[in-house]
Amino acid sequence: MTALPIEAAHLHGFARLLRAAGFSIAPEQIIGFLHGVALLGPRSMDDIRSAALAALGPTPDRFADFDRLFRFWFSGDGQITAAGADEDETPAKDDGNQRDPADNQNVEQASGELASATDQLAARRLVNDNDRLAAFVSAMRDALPVRRSYRNERSRSQGGPDLRRMFRLAIASDGDVPLLPLRRRRDMQRRLLVLIDISGSMKQYTSGHMMLAHAIVQGAAGAEIFTIGTRLTRITRPLRIRQRDRALARVGELVEDWDGGTRIGPTLLTFLGIPRFAALARGAVIIIISDGLERGSHADMETALRRLSARAYRLSLCSPLVADPRFRPRTAALQAALPLLDDLVDGASLDSLTKFILTLARPAPSAIDIWRKVS
pTM exceeding the 0.85 threshold for the entire prediction: no
pLDDT tens, the chain, 375 aa long: 455 566 678 888 888 888 888 788 888 888 888 888 888 777 788 888 888 888 887 888 788 888 888 888 887 665 554 444 444 567 777 776 444 433 333 333 344 444 454 555 555 556 554 567 888 998 888 888 888 776 777 777 777 787 787 778 777 777 777 777 777 777 788 999 999 999 988 999 999 999 999 999 999 988 999 999 889 999 999 999 999 999 999 999 999 889 888 889 999 999 998 888 999 999 999 999 998 887 667 888 999 999 999 999 999 999 999 888 888 887 788 888 888 999 999 998 999 999 999 999 888 776 545 555 555
Could you tell me if 225 and 213 are in contact, meaning their C-beta atoms sit under 8 angstroms apart? yes
Crossing angle of the two packed helices 6-20 and 63-75, in degrees rounded to 10: 140
Q: Do the strands 182-189 and 146-155 form a parallel or antiparallel pair, or are they unpaired?
A: antiparallel
Could you tell me if 237 and 217 are in contact, meaning their C-beta atoms sit under 8 angstroms apart? no
Helix residue ranges, H only, 196-263: 206-219, 236-239, 244-254
Q: Give the number of other CB atoms < 10 A from CB of residue 152.
A: 14
Supply the pLDDT for residue 100.
40
CA-CA-CA-CA dihedral for 298, 302, 304, 308, to nearest 10: 150
* Measured distance CA(37)–CA(114) in Å, rounded: 47
CA-CA-CA-CA dihedral for 37, 43, 48, 54, to nearest 10: -70
Q: Under CATH, which architecture does the 92-142+190-374 domain have?
A: 3-Layer(aba) Sandwich (3.40)
